[in-house]
Amino acid sequence: MSSPKELLRDEGVVLLREGDHPYSPEEINDLIALCQKLPRPGGIGQENRLGVGRILVDPVDIARGERGYAPATVEAPEIAQLILDIVASERAMAYWADCFGQEEVIVRRAQTNFLHQGDQVGWHDDHEANPEYMFSIVVGLTDEYTGGEFLAQITPDDQRRFRVNRGDVLIARAALQHAVDVVESGQRISLVLFTA
Ligand SMILES: O=C(O)CCC(=O)C(=O)O
Ligand SMILES: [Fe+2]
């Protein structure tokens, strides 16, 4: 069996369950309560049907600029800060630095993705927004949905599907091609950190 670190190095993606990541069940509960309170304007582009609650915006967002969208804004900064205090605590960031083999990990952008029935995220890699991103951290906040799997193109002929449940954390290398499949029913909520 490969360790999570080895899987991340070899395949560019790994799904971590409770106990294998730094967030306690209580922190996950607090995160979902806070994220639910965020205003949620739409995502960019026709292939991205979702609501996005902005928590931390990156002044560099190439994909957004190329598509002619105005810079993103954090609409509820007090709630956003409470979310960051949990998800990007010193302890959590030290954990991710060790996992990623970096001296330090910095959150450059953070958002909550809200996908309802019929919503999806089209194929992309996270370098399209900023080539400085190293890894994306996707925290699952809901169980009550069908469809909505995280799709990862590991190699041209190796595509994987990951179900990111409440309390799971998926890590993906920023250069990895990925998408979120159409949500068939229910609501899929995830908290995503883009790190460098
Ligand atoms: O919500 C997710 O599972 C990841 C969505 C995504 O790829 C992104 O926001 O860049
Ligand atoms: Fe992404």
The single residue listed with the structure tokens 């967030």 is 23
Q: Ligand 1 within 6 A of 88 CB?
A: no
Q: Which parts of the chain register pLDDT below 70?
A: none
Question: What is the pLDDT at residue 39?
Answer: 96
- Ligand 1 pocket: which of 123, 136, 183 to mutate (most atoms within 8 A of CB): 136
Question: What is the pLDDT at residue 134?
Answer: 98
Residues 105-141 have pLDDT tens digits of 999 999 999 999 999 999 999 999 999 999 999 999 9
How far apart CA 11 and CA 179 sit, in angstroms, is: 16
Q: Ligand 1 within 6 A of 162 CB?
A: no
- For residue 188, the ligand closest to its alpha carbon is 1
Question: What is the pLDDT at residue 17?
Answer: 97
Q: Exposed, middle or buried: residue 115 (CB in 10 Å: 0-12, 13-18, 19+)? A: buried
Q: Ligand 1 within 6 A of 142 CB?
A: no
Residues 87-97 have pLDDT tens digits of 999 999 999 99
How far apart CA 25 and CA 15 sit, in angstroms, is: 16
Q: Ligand 1 within 6 A of 138 CB?
A: yes
Q: Domains of the chain, with CATH numbers?
A: 4-195 (2.60.120.620)
In the reported structure, the alpha carbon of residue 192 is separated from the centroid of ligand 1 by a whole-number distance in angstroms of 6
In the reported structure, the alpha carbon of residue 1 is separated from the centroid of ligand 1 by a whole-number distance in angstroms of 27
Question: What is the pLDDT at residue 1?
Answer: 75
Atom in ligand 1 nearest the alpha carbon of residue 52: 9
- For residue 109, the ligand closest to its alpha carbon is 1
For the CA atoms of 114, 191, 43, 159, what is the dihedral angle to 10 degrees? -90
How far apart CA 6 and CA 64 sit, in angstroms, is: 33
